[in-house]
């Protein structure tokens, strides 16, 4: 191996200098690339924060709108319930009014009632009881009769009338010495309810040609309470 000359050293120095410059430029390029990516990431994060802020605001507005619509729906539901309830009351009054003339005839002609009173309301101990019809006769007949009229007779109506009969003498002590009978009348009966009413001891009546008529079979004996 020959001796290293000045030219060899100079050549090596130049090569190392070029390599150092190349590496410096590469490092600078990478640094610029990192700065660019960092700026892009920061911009994306800012955009994401803005988007999330907008989303939160939108969700807040949607929540307010949902709450408003729910309140409006609740108001409409209550209003419809009130209107439907009022319509039911009106139909009930219509049914009772339609039943009264024929029911009064039944009570007077078939049972000898001398007094027939529609829509009897009684308040006692903070409680209000309403009877569709209360009829009675004194002297030899000595009988009181309660009539409940329903546009549609459900099973609950039988239980409702039974409770009234059990408490009748407590509510109307002026009739405590009379026998007591009841009629459940209706335009439309749920299946089996008419039979249940008679098994409880009530007479039953239904509308026929716009007139209420008793529907108990021949030989049926109503309960005297």
State pTM to two decimals: 0.58
The two tokens of residue 5 are 């000359």
The pLDDT score that the predictor gives to residue 160 is 93
The pLDDT score that the predictor gives to residue 85 is 44
Q: Is 180 helix (H, G, I), strand (E, B) or coil?
A: strand
The architecture of the domain spanning 98-214 is: 3-Layer(aba) Sandwich (3.40)
Per-residue pLDDT of the chain (225 residues; tens, 9 = 90+): 566 676 766 677 677 777 877 887 887 888 788 878 888 888 888 888 887 888 778 877 776 676 677 567 666 666 655 544 443 443 344 455 566 788 889 999 999 999 999 888 888 877 888 898 999 999 899 999 999 988 889 999 999 999 999 999 999 999 999 999 999 998 889 999 999 999 999 999 988 767 888 998 888 999 998
Instruction: Tell me the domain boundaries of the chain.
Output: 98-214
Contact 175, 145 (CB under 8 A): no
Q: How far apart are CA 173 and CA 176, in angstroms?
A: 5
Contacts of 193 (CB under 8 A, 6+ apart): 153, 154, 155, 157, 158
């Amino acid at each position: 191996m020959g001796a290293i000359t000045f030219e060899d050293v100079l050549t090596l120095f130049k090569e190392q200098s070029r390599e150092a410059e190349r590496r410096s430029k590469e490092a600078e390029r990478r640094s610029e690339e990192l700065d660019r990516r960092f700026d892009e990431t920061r911009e994306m994060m800012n955009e994401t924060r803005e988007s999330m802020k907008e989303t939160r605001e939108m969700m807040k507005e949607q929540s307010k709108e949902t709450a408003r619509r729910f309140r409006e729906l609740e108001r409409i539901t209550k209003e419809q319930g009130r209107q439907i309830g009022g319509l039911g009351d009106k139909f009930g009054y219509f049914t009772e009014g339609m039943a009264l003339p024929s029911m009064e005839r039944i009570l007077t002609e078939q049972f000898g009632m001398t007094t027939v009173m529609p829509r009897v309301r009684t308040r006692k101990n903070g409680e209000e009881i309403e009877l569709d019809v209360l009829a009675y006769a004194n002297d030899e007949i000595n009988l009181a009769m309660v009539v409940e009229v329903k546009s549609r007779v459900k099973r609950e109506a039988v239980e409702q009338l039974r409770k009234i009969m059990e408490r009748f003498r407590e509510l109307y002590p002026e009739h405590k010495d009379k026998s007591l009978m009841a009629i459940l009348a209706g335009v439309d009966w749920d299946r089996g309810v008419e039979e249940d009413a008679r098994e409880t001891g009530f007479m039953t009546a239904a509308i026929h040609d716009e007139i209420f008529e008793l529907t108990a079979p021949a030989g049926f004996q109503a309960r005297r309470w």
